[in-house]
Amino acid sequence: MSEHPDCALVRRCYEAFGQGDMEKLGSMMTADVIHHVPGNNPLSGHHKGREGVLDLYRRLGEETNGTFRVELGPVLVDGRGHVMSFHTVYADRGDRGIEIGEGLFFTIVGGKITDIDGCIADIDESDAFWS
């Protein structure tokens, strides 16, 4: 059985992210995409527009001196334009390290990502790492 196109899209996004290919990653998003980051830290909030979202992703690398990486786990689809992905984040920042479970809820319209909602296993741990 072949993979649902929306799951395949999300997997391609993770692949592009892992390769640092922001141009390819951006091509899979609408111009008005929004990425919602939970918590109360300098990265939290609503990152609006393709460039705003890509700037967030670039900042993850900058803030961690290139150590930020994700290991993709299950990818689930509802067949109505929504995909849930689960991953583990690994990163070092200063004298701190983090290994934390996260999930993303994607909304997909016309084969492009329009909205990304993040969830974190431990918001307090994430806030402490990024603050």
| pLDDT tens-digit map of 83-119 | 999 999 999 999 999 999 999 999 999 999 999 999 9
> What pLDDT sits at residue 61?
94
Which fold is adopted by the domain 5-130? Nuclear Transport Factor 2; Chain: A, (3.10.450)
Distance of alpha carbon 74 from alpha carbon 42, whole angstroms: 28
Domain ranges of the chain: 5-130
- pLDDT tens per residue across span 1-38: 789 999 999 999 999 999 999 999 999 999 999 999 99
Q: How far apart are CA 86 and CA 70, in angstroms?
A: 10
pTM, two decimals, is 0.94
